[in-house]
Structure 1
Amino acid sequence: MLSPDHAYSRSARPETTPLWQRPLTRAIQTGLFLTLGMAGYSAMAQDSTAPSADASPAAAPSRVAAAPAGKAASKTLDSVVVTGSLIRRVDAETANPVTVVDSQQIAASGKPTVGDLLQRLPGVAGNATNPGIDNGGGTGASTVSLRGLGDNRTLVLVNGHRVAYSDVNSIPSNMIERIEVLTDGAASVYGSDAIGGVVNFILKDHYNGVQFSADYGMSQHSDGNRRNFSFLAGHSTKRASLMLAVTRQSQNGISATARPYSRYALALENGVPTRLGSSATPSGLIENAAGQYVTLNSGVSGATSLSDYHTYSGAQDSYNYQPYNLINTPQERTNVSLVGSFKFNRHVEGYLDFFYTKTSSASIIAPVPIFANGDDFMVSKDSYYNPFGVNFGTDRSTGNSYNDFNTRLTSLGNRDFASQTYNMQVTTGLRGDFGVGNWQWNADVNYAKVRQKTESNGFLDYPKLEQALGPSFLSSSGVVTCGTAANPISNCTPINIFNVNDPNTVAALKKLIVNPVTEYSYTMKQYEASANGDLFQLPAGSVSLAVGMSYRQESQSDTTDTPGAVAISSGDYAGLCNVVEDCGSVLSGGYNVKEVYGETLIPILADLPGAQALNIDLGSRWSDYSTSGHTVNSKVALEWRPVGDLLVRGTASQVFRAPNISELYAGFAGGAYSATDICDGYTGGHPQACENVPTNGSFQQNNAQIGVKSSGSVAAGYNLKPEHGHSYDLGLVYDPHWVHGLSLSADLWRINLKDTIVDGLDPTTIMDECYYSSKLCSLIKRSGNGQINYINLPTVNLGETWASGIDSTIQYVFAPTHWGQFTASINGTYLSRYDVDTAPGDSSVATTHCAGSYCPSYGEFPHWRGLGTLSWNRGNWNATWTMRYIGRTRIGNSDPAADYSADENINGVVRKIGAYVYNNVSAGYTFSKLHTTVSAGIDNLANKQPPMFYQWGSNSNTDAYTYDQIGRYFWARVAVSL
């Protein structure tokens, strides 16, 4: 394994072929060079009269009907920069497939935050975080995973500027004018991370008045109550604009026991749903000297002999941890935002965007479990309270593993976590025009600071616990004492861990409780300057150019007061923490990136038969990362209007993503995953994966959860490389003049990605890689009896990913009638392919095909997803009906070698999940004289419960990333404008 120093090598390259030798890059660079070569002469040759009003830097952006691209538009139209391009233009429909969610849609959804609203879009799939993720959504955050490629491959912007914290819930909804969602790779435009697409929040830039709003929501079960209060005030003049927004939100948590589908942890065994709990039980799971697993008899206090124990039965003796899990994270959020601008003169304007969000959230999990082997500590055979006469656990001094011993300290109560996240971002700059032609410029500074503090309650000081479980003896004074008669240990109380409910044991354990605090801090500083305008005229229109440069610094630090926490310096991965749940480390690091970019729009034909407009868009970006070297990524896009009603568009882009700050410098964190040991029933043939496992087929995993230790690549000593690939899009937009109000679009897309960065590998993937290809085996740590102690989960490069599909949109604005104005729209995505090959070229490792399936490592990928909306307005009345469609999917693989079965006990079982439709309705009325609007709605109108995924789902037995877990939900809102 490489040392951490290798992660800073500037010689690392995303591909072996130099980028400047690739045909696509070379062609685009040539086009840009020729364009830039004429820029100086052409700019000077422009008419030096003052720019028109529509070119003013203070002009409010607007979306307008499409005009033939490249042709001069009416001066009443505002030229804007649409997400996916750097070129300022009047065309609403370009080569970029962009979905727009406007402020009216946000208001009609009734959502106080936009996370849930965005995650309903058909282009979103996979494992994007949301507050419904148990043991994962504890910060209250929501992220977006376009194309199912992960939220780290979806770039989030506010007014075109990169945000530091990808929690879209932290962006105040009352400040949003619209959300533009680009479903195409855009590395040449925005740099790293824009592989699956871009989510750009466009904020209101002018507002006069004051608005107060309040809403309240509650589920049908009278839980999950939410409250939201917001205030917006603004004042605009010809020279200045200032807006202030304050929001306060809160939502109650919901326990997993509050819904019947999540009340117990369930597995499908021999076709029958079976309660499945943890082997860390209050009565213990103990491997005796004969290798048999036993547990304490019910009602026994103070066990003294082997007769106090009986053979362990998973169905009867396992521990149900569900009462401590949540299907909705309790949270409180306060946001203060300030947006303003000021014109110094007709050519220069200053602007400021400021956001501050504080999010408080909490979560609970079951009382502390003890896995002596998995937690790397030992219960001595010479303990006075050990009736078995054998060692349990792992002796770290020798590396020897002994018999298994699991228990759960229910007498200490549950563990809980309290998180505080502080997110501050300020973007300030100057923008204006050169006074020559229509050239504009911008220079800004983007600074962000994120701090997250988490206090964990109900944990133990494990070094002291291990001492109390070591050798002990009965002294001459009749007191049980730590150590041996020859070497007694002072300030130590021996603990009878074999009976955790004994009052003396409880008292001794309470003295060892610790409440560790971990802190995460992230800082981003970015400096950027850009310019755009028209270079010269061609017969078909103006050649436009946008150029810029930026410098960005990012740094991160992890600190903790966890007992025995370590500072990462050697890259040593094993034995750094005493137990996985109490794992902590101190680590910091950072990097910088320098970038130069350009884009040009060249009109080729216009106003000709079969070519109302034909344009080529070329873009390229050079990036130099201090951690991974430099790269050039380019795009070429084509826009063709054979007739005025039809736009044919296509884009080919190189995409690129450098390892982000967390993937590089995240410290160690512990946890547990529900996973099946690949060596269950092992009969030989794969010794590298099944070390110490008997080969007679008798081996069975004794715990449904596997302990893990995760970290970034630097802590693990892994040399993480950038990932790179290509994105293609080919589509059409049809607005027939003979059907007024109808708009149709369809886009075929494909993404190929190599050297995929996998952040947070799951145990199943690591076991499969080791079993079938002998890779990553060093990450699996087994005890002497074959049971898994824990699995290391570093961030690594692992193989290739392919995804492809079709996006389509139908929108129809009905002609106004006596009954009001109706608008209908349907957005749909058909996913034809989502393949992951973790070992390219190795036929022994099968490619994972996720399209139409639930893949445990990557999430759910039904072939079809859709979102339909019907809205109505009549006078002061309005109403909206939204239908969300999630297509059929399946769990399991019919190939027994895939080791992925819907049934816990039968290989090759595939279980089908039917399609789901969720219906949300809302209605509102505006009291004009009172300047008040009252709205109400119902989410999940039919109260549909999520499908059962059993052992393959989250702890709530379903896919919490995809389906609604709360059930029918009522909400109401009042807004007053002054």
Structure 2
Amino acid sequence: MPVAGITAFGYGRATPASMLRPTRTRSLEPMKPMQRSLLAAAIVAALSASAYALPVRAQDSQTGTTQKQDKKKVQEMKAVVVTGSLIPTAEINTATPTITITAENIKRQGFTSIYQALRAQPLATGEVQGAATSASFTQGAQSISLLGLPPDFTLFLINGHPLASYPLLYNGEANISDISNIPLAMVSRIDIVPGNQSSIYGSAAIAGVVNIILKKHAHGLDFNYQAGGFSQGGGSSQRLSLVGGYDHGPLSLVYGLQYQEQQPIYQFQRSYASSTFANPNPELAGLPSITYGILDVGPLFAGNNYIDPNSITPNACANIANQYAGTTVRGETVTGVGQPPGQYVGNGYACGSPYAPGYNTVMNKTREGSAYLSGTFRLNDHTELYGNLLLDIYSQNYGVGPFYSFWEPNINGFYNGQAPGYIFNANTGTFQNPFELFSPEEVGGLLTNSTHEVDRSYNFYGGIKGSVGSSNWNYDAFFARSQLNTSTNELHPLTAKVDAFFQNQFLGPKLGTNYGYPVYAPNYKNFYQNVTPAEYQAFSGIIHSSSEDYTQNVNLQVTNTDLFALPAGNVGVAAVLQAGDENWSLPANPLLTSHAFWGQTASSGGGRRNQYAAAVEFHIPIFSMLSADVSARYDRFHNDGGSSSSRPTYKVALAFRPLSTLLLRANYSTAFRMPDMGYVFVGPSGNFQFVTDYYKCEKNAPGTPFSACSQSSANNVQITGQQNPNRFLSPITAKSWGGGVVWSPTSNFTAKADYYDIRIRNEVQYQSVNSLLIQEAQCLLGQIPASSPVCIAALNAVSRSSTGQLLSVSYQPVNIASERVSGIVASLAYRYDLGQWGELSLNGNYNVTLRHQFQAAPGEPTVDLLHNPYYDTLYSQGGSALGPEYKTILSGTLNWAVGNWDTALTAIRYGKLANSAAADNPTVYQTYGAGTLPPWILYNATFKYDIGSDASIGLTVNNLFDTMPPVDKSDTSWPYYNEGAYNIYGRSYYVDFNYRF
């Protein structure tokens, strides 16, 4: 449950309360005794509400205030750096809205990782690719989408210092932060500041800032062991952590170790999407997914029928019936899968299994070890040295199922402009496409051909801080560096070896070519047989890649809470000077770029960006009830290659307190994000994609509307896409405004509500391949002058063979899109003293997105992303389909603590989500209609019992009722649910034991 606190948060290191001069501790306004009493009581209440640790040891991580204090005792308030500001303050609620999640409440609400806790926040409304999204570009990373905006629009910090980016590109395009390798045992709390925060934190803070605060104080040695699993199988885990502290004279240390391991969950372990039996279209449910097939398209690619295996050899599929745990059978094949009932057509038979699609991981197999050390050394009464180091090594395995480990002949023909996989059968005089998907039994086990990823990261900062003599000036000078190295290894067939293997097995010698395609006289009787694990190993090799990203900077920060006096109070000021750089390196694997591995390409790139910044902030008490916080920052960036950009940003925030129990606040700010390193420095990166050849369509059937061309499979071809960098991109810019109210009539009750409105311009999107092909067709057909800039760009981007065969399309990112999102975020916290029956508390959080609109380019239609999330119209310049988002998310926790018992029930209600029919698929839309899915409600329950004063035992049950995502009857393509918005883990349970030495 979010609890407003006075703990430290800032871009620089927070100044401990013990180092601030008590006689100069400021407040935002002169306080009357009653006001000070109410505020102090609220502070104690907020800190007490977060108590989930052992009774005698619970301490606030920054102030050292015990949580067992008399609730009516007025505490002396110390000023610390708070969320969204550089100036120390003693206020709980400021002009900038902040959501705080303490480590105790993360545990109370049943979350076992930082990712789980953040993904359940009402502000995290957007779809995100990750471990639960099979075959994604970043299956080894975890991030969130604040306010439904791209995950790279959120700035992640550790103790106020930026995280290095994940070196692999999200969706093959952008740089995101990976939060999977931050150990929960070392976390004190997490602060979330929604909206534009660039005037304090610089680039990337458009959707908001997430600051993960690690522990600064500890006493004794805390031991924790947790173990658990899932009621439907898979995913068992265990975690061991030790966290301790040391204080002696001027030296203070906090240290910690954590080890955890997690077993994988496969999709076939969840009946919800384990097989094609889960298809909501009853006419397609249970049909085998083809694993061995021979497609015959006639002498001139005029047909589209599979050759029945039994016509080649009796009971052909029986030879491979052992595959996919003995579920492989002969079954009907259809075209139009993914369409509504009645829209598919049977086109022959093949061998396959209904369970083949489910052989991929939706939870990675992981092992992780972490170490943490934080220390301070007081040189004298005015000066302190400090440092903080977090080390982590994260090993994981994830599989993408059988679909990315398969074979078909003539892969090299694809690069010569021919359709991949086709041969000319001299025995039948037709073009054919035989292919095989390798089963787990053939490769040697479930994880044999999985990707093994190892991430090594460290986050360090250290410096010196103190006061300048006996003046009001405090300084903080430090160096910070964060680095993440990622290496991956994957067993995959080698092009030459796997082609030779199958040529020897059934194709026979090459007999020549026909229309550019190789001619064989295959013996298909040898096709339907198992490949042995030894054979698979013999024609495969290891795809290895390594990548790195680091960010570092030096900072000088000065603050003065009493710069000068005004009638309403003292003016405070903070200033920052910063210089640093970021480096991203993703070297190209020469074996991938030369197509040595069958059907695989890779992204590559690298570059360095220097950054310089200066910022200033003022707190100005205008009169007794009104104060203003004004900040401004100037950033300048210089990329390798000579391009430079600079951007000023500012923020004005007002806090009006007409009553001691009421705060009204408003803010206006500007923000920016430098284009991702992946957009600026990506190397020429290839990919395979199916597109519509509009020129071919118009040549064969003049006058056909372009929209009709895309509906005919005869016009669909597979090409290579070529991503290219753009070193002259401009910064993405944003403006936001908001306002809200905080009402706290008693120390036991607080209600908040804030409105936000963010408008983004110059958003980076890759050029649409679809649009380039339309423009190219219009230019070749004379519909647009060939000398026009549009034609020059399109004709240069599209490559064809001398016979007109479409080969490839080259595209790059451009500043062209705009976006707007607005909504309301609200929270409620209430505590009630039950006397001898303990204490009852209720906390709730809510977010409703009122508007989310996207415009791909000037002149393009503005699309409502809340109701049409799969934006991919024919003429879009943006090209990327944007994922769905929840319009509302509501979470609440009811906690009852009595004696040695503490129990809590948490509910998370994910609101309606656009269904699959919202996609621009005419037949699906006409049958089902764009609509919404019902809410998805999950319940978590936790129980804790204190065994004396030094030990406790707890039980956590997540997804108490084993609730699966709502069924989308319009989603008739596997896996039949949105992997980026839902998960199918089901009920989990954990026990943990804590002991303090």
Q: What TM-score range do you get, normalising by the shorter chain? A: 0.7 to 0.9
Would the aligned equivalents of 2:424 and 2:431 in 1 still touch at CA under 8 Å? Answer: no
Pick the aligned partner of 2:652 from 636, 648, 664. Answer: 636
Match of 2:942 in 1: 922
Q: Distance in 2 between matches of 1:680 and 1:336?
A: 59
Residues 369 and 127 from structure 1, CA distance in 2 versus in 1: closer, same or farther, beyond 3 angstroms?
farther
| 1:912 alignment counterpart | 932
Do the aligned partners of 1:380 and 1:469 also contact (CA within 8 Å) in 2?
no
Counterpart residue number, 1:438: 472
State yes or no: 1:661 paired with 2:686.
Answer: no
Task: Tell me by how many angstroms 1:508 deviates.
Answer: 8.3
Residue correspondences, number: 857
Identical aligned residues as a percent: 21
Change (3 A) 1:107 1:681: farther
Distance 1:484 1:169, change over 3 A: closer
1:580-623 CA distances to partner (integer Å, 9 max, x unpaired)?
A: 851136532111111111111111001xxxxxx21111111111
Q: Secondary structure of 2:185's partner?
A: helix
Q: Determine if contact 1:580/1:708 at 8 Å carries over to the other structure.
A: no
Q: Output aligned runs, 1:555-634, within 5 Å.
A: 555-561=583-589, 563-565=591-593, 577=595, 581-584=599-602, 586-606=604-624, 613-627=625-639, 628-634=644-650
- Does residue 752 of structure 2 align to residue 745 of structure 1? yes
Aligned-partner Cα distance in 1 for 2:889–2:775: 31
- For residues 584 and 913 of structure 1, the distance between their equivalents in structure 2, rounded to whole angstroms, comes to 36
**Cα distance change, pair 752–266 in 1 and its aligned pair in 2 (3 A):** farther
1: distance between equivalents of 2:936 and 2:803? Answer: 45
- State which drifts further: 430-439 or 290-299: 290-299
Q: Distance in 1 between matches of 2:231 and 2:760?
A: 44
SS at match of 2:960: coil
Tell me, what secondary structure is at the counterpart of 1:292? coil
Pick from 950, 958, 965 the counterpart of residue 977 of structure 2.
Answer: 958
Residue equivalent to 2:556: 529
How far apart, CA to CA, are the structure 2 residues paired with 1:285 and 1:938?
49
- Report the TM-score, using the length of structure 2 for normalisation: 0.76
Displacement after TM superposition at 1:928 (Å): 1.2
Counterparts of 1:277-292 in structure 2, within 5 Å, are 281-290=291-300, 291-292=302-303
In 2, are the aligned partners of 1:516 and 1:560 still within 8 Å (CA)?
A: no
Q: Is the CA contact 2:505–2:526 (under 8 Å) kept in the aligned structure 1?
A: no
The answer as to 2:377 corresponding to 1:351 is: no
Q: Tell me which residue corresponds to 2:7.
A: none
**Secondary structure, in 3 states, of the residue corresponding to 1:823?**
strand
Q: 8 Å contact 2:424–2:430 — kept in the other structure?
A: no
Structure 2 residue corresponding to 1:420, chosen from 454, 478, 491: 454
2-side partners of 1:500 and 1:83: how far apart? 68
Consecutive unaligned residues in structure 1, runs of 5 or more: 1-48, 66-73, 304-308, 393-403, 486-491, 567-576, 607-612
Amino acid aligned to 1:363: Y
- Separation in 1 of the partners of 2:603 and 2:122? 39
Q: How far is 1:282 from its partner?
A: 1.9
Q: How far did 1:943 drift?
A: 0.9
Question: Where do 1:796-875 residues align within 5 Å?
Answer: 796-842=814-860, 846-851=861-866, 854-855=869-870, 857-875=881-899
Give the conservation status (yes or no) of the 8 Å contact 1:106–1:173.
no
- In 2, are the aligned partners of 1:267 and 1:276 still within 8 Å (CA)? no
What corresponds to 1:88 in structure 2?
Answer: 88
Letter in 2 for 1:632: P
**Equivalent of residue 376 in structure 1, options 415, 433, 448:** 415
1:609-758 to 2 correspondences below 5 Å: 613-627=625-639, 628-667=644-683, 698-699=712-713, 713-714=724-725, 719-737=728-746, 740-758=747-765
Shift, 1:509, TM fit: 7.4
User: In the TM superposition, what whole-angstrom CA distance separates every residue of 1:799-826 from its partner, at most 9, and x where no partner exists?
Assistant: 1111001111111111342221011011
Distance in structure 2 (CA, Å) of the matches to 1:794 and 1:424 = 33
Equivalents in 2 of 1:245, 1:592: separation in Å? 34
Q: TM-score, normalised by structure 1?
A: 0.78
Once residues 687 and 266 of structure 1 are traced to their aligned partners in structure 2, the CA distance between those partners, rounded to angstroms, is 42
| 8 Å CA contact retained: 1:207, 1:236 | no
**In the alignment, does 2:114 pair up with 1:119?**
no
Residues 907 and 589 (structure 1 numbering): CA distance in 2 closer, same or farther, change over 3 Å?
farther
Gaps of at least 5 residues in structure 2 are 1-18, 27-59, 67-73, 166-176, 315-329, 336-345, 779-783, 785-789, 872-880
Give per-residue Cα distances to partners, 1:336-373, cap 9 Å, x unaligned. Answer: 11111111111111111111111111122213254868
* Contact 2:681–2:727 under 8 Å retained in 1: no
Counterpart for residue 128 of structure 1: 128
In the alignment, does 2:953 pair up with 1:939?
A: no
Give the Å deviation of 1:456.
1.2
Q: Secondary structure at the match of 1:415?
A: coil
| Cα distance, 1:447–1:409 mapped onto 2, change above 3 Å | same
Alignment partners' CA distance in 1, 2:989 and 2:773 = 44
Instruction: Name the SS for the 2:212 alignment partner.
Output: strand
Q: Per-residue CA shift, 1:935-967, capped at 9, x if unaligned?
A: 002111111111234786995322233323111
CA distance in 2, matches of 1:948, 1:765: 34
CA distance in 2, matches of 1:946, 1:837: 30
Paired residue type of 2:202? G
Q: 2:527 aligns with which of 501, 512, 533?
A: 501
SS at match of 2:835: coil
Match of 1:514 in 2: 541
Structure 1 residues 742, 285: closer, same or farther in 2, change over 3 A? same
Cα offset for 1:449?
2.2
1:522-545 deviation line (CA, Å, top 9, x unaligned): 122211111111310101111111
What root-mean-square deviation, in Å, do the aligned CA atoms of Structure 1 and Structure 2 show? Answer: 4.5
User: Which segment is superposed worse, 805-814 or 404-413?
Assistant: 404-413
Q: CA deviation at 1:911?
A: 3.9
Counterpart pick for 1:553 among 570, 581, 584: 581
Q: Distance in 1 between matches of 2:798 and 2:84?
A: 43
1:116 is paired with a residue whose SS is helix
Mapped to 2, the partners of 1:763 and 1:299 lie a distance apart of 41
Superposition deviation, residue 112 in structure 1: 3.3
Distance 1:768 1:971 in 2: 55
1:107 alignment partner AA: K
Q: Is the 8 A contact 2:298 2:304 kept in 1?
A: yes
- Distance change (3 Å), C-alpha of 1:298 and 1:719: farther
Instruction: Report the Cα distance in structure 2 between the residues aligned to 1:496 and 1:236, rounded to whole angstroms.
Output: 78
Separation in 1 of the partners of 2:202 and 2:943? 42
Which amino acid letter does the alignment assign opposite residue 756 of structure 1?
Answer: E
CA contact (8 A) 2:156 2:162 kept: yes
Match of 1:69 in 2: none
AA matched with 1:209 = G
Residue type matched to 1:660 in 2?
D
> 1:326 Cα shift?
1.8
Task: Tell me, yes or no, if structure 1 residue 256 matches structure 2 residue 267.
Answer: yes
Task: Report the CA distance between 1:146 and its aligned residue.
Answer: 1.0
Query: What amino acid does structure 1 have at the position aligned with 2:228?
Result: G
Quote the Cα distance in structure 2 between the aligned partners of 1:940 and 1:768. 48
CA contact (8 A) 1:154 1:197 kept: yes
Which whole-Å CA distance do the structure 1 matches of 2:772 and 2:369 have between them? 40
In the TM superposition, what is the alpha-carbon distance from 1:553 to its structure 2 partner? 1.1
The alpha carbon displacement at 1:855 in A equals: 3.9
Q: For residues 926 and 595 of structure 1, what CA distance do their matches in structure 2 show?
A: 50
AA aligned to 1:112 is T
Q: Which whole-Å CA distance do the structure 2 matches of 1:381 and 1:260 have between them? A: 33
The aligned counterpart of 2:224 is 213
CA contact 1:126–1:858 (8 Å) conserved in 2: no
Structure 1 distance, partners of 2:228, 2:921, is 40
Residue 793 of structure 1, CA deviation:
7.5
**What is the distance in 2 between the residues matched to 1:696 and 1:428?**
58
